[in-house]
């Protein structure tokens, strides 16, 4: 027989490298145990056991025995038995997946309490109240998560008990009142499940473990994973931990600590503490917490020990850590740590601080930030200098928990947030405090505002994870979800649908729409603010420098105008990778295009082209000036001609109503050019081959602009790019003609022009015959938008609105292939074409233009594929530079 799979690891056996198997929580509990930190003993059931259970619907055969063996060891070590005897051992049963999913799965505390052991616990602790409080918590948590009874059934009974006792919070309930509450809770269980609350501790344990396994597939957890792009097949581990008690009186308590401020990244002591409470109370925002620093006076010894522990953890993990701890009658216990979620600003600041401290090197610092975070720092912010007057009516100030400037209609529940957002409205979700059921509302909202809870509250943690603006703990506000209003301290009422603005940096809440200004980071990229504006800008500057030093990919811009080109240059572009010429045919020039299309003789056509030529030439002259010394890839006209003509229906109506000769002629042309599938029709190189003189005119304009710039002392570097080539023959014809025109311009201007001519690779056939095409192309630029359309057979203009939602929902893909390159399909063609192109023409220049060029994940793909450059919109350039650096780091 083969040796049985190990499904259970003692904390002393694991380490942080086993995160796949033990989950983040389990692996880090093991790691902290190894570091000698005060972690209560316990063991972890692996994700592998969970996967087996989810696959087969039953726990693996040997699991029960393995748990028994570890439980025995735990009991021997503690000298106590689970839920038995004079001094019963209690445990928690905790979920914990590879990636942190805060509050999305289940945990049950106080397992082992029964009608018998609750009395023993009371006697042992010398505290009746504590024992009954723990028992009611167990039945409540177990009832909800294991037995599936909705939480309100218990919450309502607590409210009743509180009201009857005239108690403001549940800590004021006496032992007798809690005992009575336990009886009522047990009644709820009996009525709802048809049997009494389980009195066998081991049965409690096994059922709780199974419930945690099941919680992996709960709605909340699934939604969160989709949002965070966490795979659905990982499963969760389950940690069983000896209980320690923060609810043993005023010298006990529980808290959360961060080694740095997760909102700003600044160093210091950050966290929340709640005396006489058990774990969940802190994050649930049920009672108001106190700042962690208050612990320095309340319990100096534990506080000092906590600070030392935080230092040990930060140096060990070399990163911001967050920590859950409990103090039981003056003894500190560490219950969890993980590398903490942080805002974008904090990520940049912390990476640079750790770099300065010598804890990490430059490459590691780059890996600690992301293009997505940089994008967030480039969002506009509220015009703070004018906060007093322009900023609208100030309603309150809360805690800036997740930065950003959010404006939207106030809504008071998750469903309304989802509905209004789906109708295209911007909303701010306003809650007393959020809980995991609010997740879809939080996802739909521009911003989140809560009246209760600190920086570690559910709202704050989840918002930071999602990068959504959040103000929490605005305690001056009274939120009334039933009336759908919020009321300020001075009695101002804001009703559902009214626009409010929240500032996730300062915590300010305003009525109305506050104007926004560019972020300091954008001003720095624009060159209007120096790098030493503040420590955040300095951190961005530092990491951009690192990225530029290590990256191999060049970053070019998609830019069609001199203004865009100039901005792109300021943002660090190494040239233009895609200049679309179609906009140069719109506006007033539309009539010239019409003349070109309507031309009935060569003379008429040539006259139209001759009128367009100088306009095109001026466009290019400006562009080459803005990008002087850097390459500018000009794509010849790509879209179908009918895009420049009036709409067929409109025009038909017009002609029918008033018979106009010109319109009638136009209508004939529109009909002639009308196509069922214009994106697969007469466009790109096909247009160039079929409309005599069109490409010739464009090539001439480019060449003449270059000659002029050269004569004026500039260094123009145009490159001509032919779109939608499917076969080398198309390219050969265009090339021959282009070379003839360029030679003519050279002759006329008495100058030498060096204008590379290349092609887009955006059809599967082009990718598959890239070797042949390379014979005639000086460069390739992958047009991954069209390539994605044609490889998948997706019409980009239609599918995103029609069935992509369902596809994402079903997990067919985790993200739209138009957003992040489909590495397996489209990417495989890119790789094939690169190999064939380079084999046919060593030194062939390779780039990508299209949306993917600015998408972080895709940039990593293009780096690995060996492209020379990516090209993206000007605002994405810093993001692409950073990601190109990260890819090489
Ligand atoms: P989550 O992943 O939602 O944070 P946890 O498993 O960390 O869930 O547990 C919820 C709360 O219960 C936390 O505050 C945690 O510190 C506390 N807790 C968990 N296990 C124990 C224990 N053995 N003793 C005391 N408190 C615990
Ligand atoms: Mg936790
Ligand atoms: Mg295209």
CATH code of the domain in which 496 resides: 3.50.30.10
Q: Is 264 annotated as a binding residue?
A: no
Query: How remote is the CA of residue 171 from the centroid of ligand 1, in Å?
Result: 19
Q: Give the per-residue pLDDT at 385.
A: 52
Query: How remote is the CA of residue 573 from the centroid of ligand 3, in Å?
Result: 21
- Among residues 849, 852, 860, 872, which one is catalytic? 849
Q: Give the per-residue pLDDT at 371.
A: 95
Per-residue pLDDT tens digits for 735-773: 999 999 999 999 999 999 999 999 999 999 999 999 999
Residue 510 lies in a domain: yes
Q: Is 796 annotated as a binding residue?
A: no
Pair (661, 806) in one structural domain? no
DSSP string, 210-275: HHHHHHTTSHHHHHHHHHHT--TTS-EEEEEEE---S-SSTT-EEEEEEEE-TTT--EEEEEEEEE
Alpha carbons 593 and 46: distance in angstroms, whole number: 68
Torsion sign (Cα): 436, 442, 444, 450: positive
Residue 805 lies in a domain: yes
Residue 748 lies in a domain: yes
Residue 806: CB atoms within 10 A of its CB come to 9
Pair (610, 712) in one structural domain? yes
Pair (306, 454) in one structural domain? no
HSE at residue 491, side-chain half, CA atoms within 13 A, is 0
Closest atom of ligand 1 relative to the 278 alpha carbon: 26
**Residues linked to residue 830 through DSSP beta bridges, in sequence order:** none
Pair (482, 612) in one structural domain? no
Q: Which domain holds residue 270?
A: 253-339
Q: In which element (H, E) is residue 686 found?
A: helix 685-690
74: Cβ–Cβ under 8 A, 6 or more apart, which residues?
41, 42, 43, 89, 91, 240, 242
Pair (503, 635) in one structural domain? no
Query: How remote is the CA of residue 324 from the centroid of ligand 2, in Å?
Result: 7
What tokens were used for 330?
Answer: 């003056």
Residues having CB closer than 6 A to ligand 1 are 40, 92, 94, 103, 107, 109, 241-244, 279-280, 324, 326, 335-336
Closest Cα to atom 17, ligand 1: which residue?
279
Instruction: Identify which of 93, 88, 223 has the alpha carbon closest to the alpha carbon of residue 145.
Output: 93
Q: Give the per-residue pLDDT at 575.
A: 98
| CATH number of the domain that residue 286 is part of | 3.30.470.20
Q: Give the per-residue pLDDT at 1.
A: 45
Pair (782, 759) in one structural domain? yes
User: Is 458 assigned a catalytic role?
Assistant: yes
Q: Is 28 annotated as a binding residue?
A: no
Residue 466 lies in a domain: yes
Residues in the chain predicted with pLDDT less than 50, given as ranges, are 1, 386-387, 389-390
Pair (467, 586) in one structural domain? no
Q: Give the per-residue pLDDT at 588.
A: 80
Pair (616, 603) in one structural domain? yes
Per-residue pLDDT tens digits for 560-598: 999 999 999 999 999 999 999 988 888 788 888 889 988
| CATH number of the domain that residue 606 is part of | 3.20.20.60
Pair (622, 633) in one structural domain? yes
Pair (655, 602) in one structural domain? no
Is the backbone of residue 270 left (phi > 0), alpha (psi -120 to 50) or beta?
beta
Residue 385 lies in a domain: yes
Q: Give the per-residue pLDDT at 802.
A: 80
Pair (663, 627) in one structural domain? no
Residue 732 lies in a domain: yes
Determine the residue of 243, 324, 465 to mutate for testing ligand 1's pocket, defined as the one with the most ligand atoms within 8 A of the Cβ atom. Answer: 324
Q: Give the per-residue pLDDT at 2.
A: 56
Please say whether the beta carbons of 471 and 400 come within 8 A: yes
Residue 203 lies in a domain: no
Per-residue pLDDT tens digits for 608-620: 999 999 999 999 9
Alpha carbons 129 and 804: distance in angstroms, whole number: 55
Residue 170 lies in a domain: no
Q: Give the per-residue pLDDT at 515.
A: 86
- Residue 77 to residues 26, 33, 72: CA-CA distances in angstroms? 19, 15, 8
Exposure string for 142-171, b = 16+ CB within 10 A, e = fewer: bbbbbbebeeebbeebbeebbeeeeeeebb
Total number of domains in the chain = 4
- State phi, psi for 502 to the nearest 5 degrees: -125, 140
Pair (400, 297) in one structural domain? no
User: Is 472 assigned a catalytic role?
Assistant: no
Query: How remote is the CA of residue 712 from the centroid of ligand 1, in Å?
Result: 72
Strand 469-472 versus strand 447-450 pairing type? parallel
- Longest pairwise C-alpha distance within the chain: 107
Alpha carbons 55 and 641: distance in angstroms, whole number: 55
- Residue 37: burial class (beta carbons within 10 Å; 0-12, 13-18, 19+): buried
Torsion sign (Cα): 408, 411, 413, 416: negative
Alpha carbons 552 and 887: distance in angstroms, whole number: 9
């Amino acid at each position: 027989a083969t040796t049985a799979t190990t499904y259970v690891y003692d904390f002393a056996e694991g380490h942080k490298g086993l995160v796949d198997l033990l989950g983040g929580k389990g692996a880090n509990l093991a790691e902290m145990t190894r570091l000698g930190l005060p972690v209560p003993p316990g063991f972890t059931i692996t994700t592998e056991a969970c996967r087996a259970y989810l696959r087969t619907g039953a726990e693996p055969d040997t699991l029960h025995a393995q748990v028994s063996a570890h439980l025995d060891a735990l009991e021997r070590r503690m000298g106590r038995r689970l839920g038995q005897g004079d001094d019963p051992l209690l445990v928690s049963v905790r979920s914990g997946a590879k990636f942190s999913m805060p509050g999305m799965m289940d945990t049950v505390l106080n397992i082992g309490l029964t009608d018998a052991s609750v009395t023993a616990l009371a006697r042992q602790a010398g505290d009746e109240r504590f024992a009954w409080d723990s028992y009611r918590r167990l039945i409540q948590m177990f009832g909800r998560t294991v037995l599936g009874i909705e939480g309100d059934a218990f919450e309502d009974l607590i409210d009743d008990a509180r009201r009857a006792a005239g108690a403001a919070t549940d800590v004021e309930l006496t032992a007798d009142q809690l005992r009575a509450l336990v009886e009522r809770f047990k009644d709820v269980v009996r009525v709802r499940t048809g049997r009494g609350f389980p009195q066998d501790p081991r049965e409690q344990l096994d059922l709780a473990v199974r419930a945690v396994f099941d919680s992996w597939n709960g709605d909340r957890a699934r939604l969160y994973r989709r949002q965070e792009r966490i795979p659905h097949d990982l499963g969760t581990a389950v940690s069983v931990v000896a209980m320690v008690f923060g609810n043993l009186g005023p010298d006990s308590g529980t808290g959360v600590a961060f080694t740095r401020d997760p909102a700003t990244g600044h160093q210091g002591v950050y966290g929340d503490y709640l005396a006489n409470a058990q774990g969940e109370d802190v994050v649930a925002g049920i009672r108001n917490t106190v700042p962690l620093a208050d612990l320095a006076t309340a319990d100096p010894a534990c506080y000092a020990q906590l600070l030392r522990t935080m230092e040990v953890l930060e140096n060990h993990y070399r990163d911001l850590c967050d920590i859950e701890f409990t103090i039981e009658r003056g003894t500190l216990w560490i219950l969890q740590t993980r590398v903490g979620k942080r805002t974008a600003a904090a990520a940049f600041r912390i990476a640079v601080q750790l770099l300065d401290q010598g804890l990490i090197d430059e490459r590691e610092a780059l890996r600690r930030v992301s293009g997505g975070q940089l994008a967030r720092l480039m969002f506009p912010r509220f015009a703070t200098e004018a906060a007093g007057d322009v900023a609208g009516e100030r309603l309150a100030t809360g805690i800036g928990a997740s930065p950003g400037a959010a404006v939207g209609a106030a809504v008071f529940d998750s469903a309304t947030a989802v509905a209004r957002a789906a109708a295209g409205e911007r909303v701010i979700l306003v809650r007393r405090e959020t809980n995991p059921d609010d997740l879809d509302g939080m996802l739909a909202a521009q911003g989140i505002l809560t009246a209760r809870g600190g920086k570690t509250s559910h709202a704050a943690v989840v918002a930071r994870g999602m990068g959504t603006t959040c103000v929490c703990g605005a305690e001056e506000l009274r939120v009334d979800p039933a009336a759908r209003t919020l009321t300020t301290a001075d009695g101002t009422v804001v009703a559902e649908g009214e626009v409010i603005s929240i500032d996730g940096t300062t915590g300010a809440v305003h009525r109305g729409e506050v104007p926004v200004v560019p972020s300091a980071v954008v001003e720095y990229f624009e060159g209007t603010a120096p790098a030493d504006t503040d420590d955040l800008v300095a951190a961005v500057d530092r990491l951009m420098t690192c990225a530029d030093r290590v990256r191999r990919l060049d970053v070019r811009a998609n830019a069609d105008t001199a203004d865009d080109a100039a901005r792109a240059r300021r943002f660090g572009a190494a040239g233009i990778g895609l200049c679309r010429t179609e906009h140069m045919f719109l506006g007033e020039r539309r009539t010239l295009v019409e003349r070109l299309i309507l031309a009935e003789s060569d003379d008429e056509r040539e006259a139209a082209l001759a009128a367009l030529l100088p306009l095109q030439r001026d466009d290019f002259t400006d562009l080459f000036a803005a990008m002087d010394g850097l390459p500018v890839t000009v794509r010849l006209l790509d879209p179908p001609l009918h895009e420049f003509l009036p709409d067929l229906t409109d025009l038909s109506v017009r002609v029918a109503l008033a018979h106009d000769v010109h319109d009638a002629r136009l209508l004939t042309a529109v009909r002639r050019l009308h196509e069922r599938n214009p994106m697969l029709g007469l466009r790109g190189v096909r247009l160039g081959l079929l409309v005599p003189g069109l490409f010739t005119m464009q090539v001439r304009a480019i060449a003449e602009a270059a000659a002029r710039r050269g004569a004026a002392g500039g260094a123009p570097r145009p490159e001509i790019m032919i779109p939608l080539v499917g076969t080398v023959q198309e390219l050969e014809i265009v090339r021959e003609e282009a070379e003839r025109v360029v030679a003519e311009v050279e002759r006329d201007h008495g100058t030498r022009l060096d204008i590379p001519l290349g092609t887009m690779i955006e059809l599967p056939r082009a990718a598959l015959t890239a070797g042949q095409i390379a014979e005639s192309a000086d460069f390739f630029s992958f047009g991954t938008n069209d390539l994605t359309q044609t490889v998948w057979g997706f019409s980009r203009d239609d599918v995103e609105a029609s069935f992509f939602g369902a596809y994402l929902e079903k997990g067919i893909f985790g993200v739209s292939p138009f957003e992040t390159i489909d590495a397996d399909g489209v990417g495989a063609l890119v790789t094939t074409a690169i190999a064939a192109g380079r084999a046919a023409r060593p030194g062939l220049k390779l780039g990508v233009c299209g949306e993917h060029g600015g998408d972080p994940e895709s940039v990593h793909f293009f780096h690995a594929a060996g492209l020379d450059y990516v090209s993206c919109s000007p605002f994405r350039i810093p993001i692409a530079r950073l990601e190109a650096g990260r890819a090489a780091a």
